[in-house]
């Protein structure tokens, strides 16, 4: 994952990816109850508890939840990448300071 680009540019790109992925994951999470309601409404005239049971047992609901979890996983992975770049930068600063101190000896 090393690049010839400065760490600051790598960080900017990784942070942008993370923000986009986090936004997508958050949108799915925030619309979960609305999607459930829409799917329940399509069940027709039946008790709410029965419609909810039918929807939550459906392959479509399972797919929606799977997509939501996958989106959050991707966002979390990209957040870790951003943190890794921060650590690389700190390591570089430390190594550079050590090298300067050794050169003074």
pLDDT exceeds cutoff 80 at 105? no
CB 72 within 8 A of CB 29: yes
Task: Find the mean pLDDT for residues 21-48.
Answer: 96
**More confident position, 98 or 12:** 12
Task: Find the mean pLDDT for residues 44-57.
Answer: 96
Task: Find the mean pLDDT for residues 45-49.
Answer: 96
The domain of 32 spans 7-104
What's the pLDDT score for residue 73?
97
Is residue 1 included in any domain, yes or no?
no
CB 75 within 8 A of CB 22: yes
Is residue 34 included in any domain, yes or no?
yes
pTM to 2 decimal places: 0.79
Average pLDDT score over the chain: 92
Is residue 2 included in any domain, yes or no?
no
CB 13 within 8 A of CB 52: no
CB 36 within 8 A of CB 61: yes
Query: Cα dist. 50→37, 45, 65, 90 in Å?
Result: 13, 10, 19, 56
Q: Count the domains in the chain.
A: 1
């Amino acid at each position: 994952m090393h690049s010839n680009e400065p760490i600051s540019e790598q960080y900017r790109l990784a942070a942008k990816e993370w923000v986009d992925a986090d936004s997508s994951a958050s949108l799915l999470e925030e619309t979960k109850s609305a999607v459930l309601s829409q799917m329940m409404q399509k069940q027709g005239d039946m008790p709410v508890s029965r419609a909810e049971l039918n929807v939550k047992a459906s392959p479509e609901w399972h797919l929606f939840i799977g997509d939501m979890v996958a989106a959050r996983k991707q966002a979390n992975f990209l957040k870790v990448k951003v943190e890794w770049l921060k650590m690389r930068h700190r390591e570089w600063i430390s190594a550079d300071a050590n090298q300067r101190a050794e050169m003074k000896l």
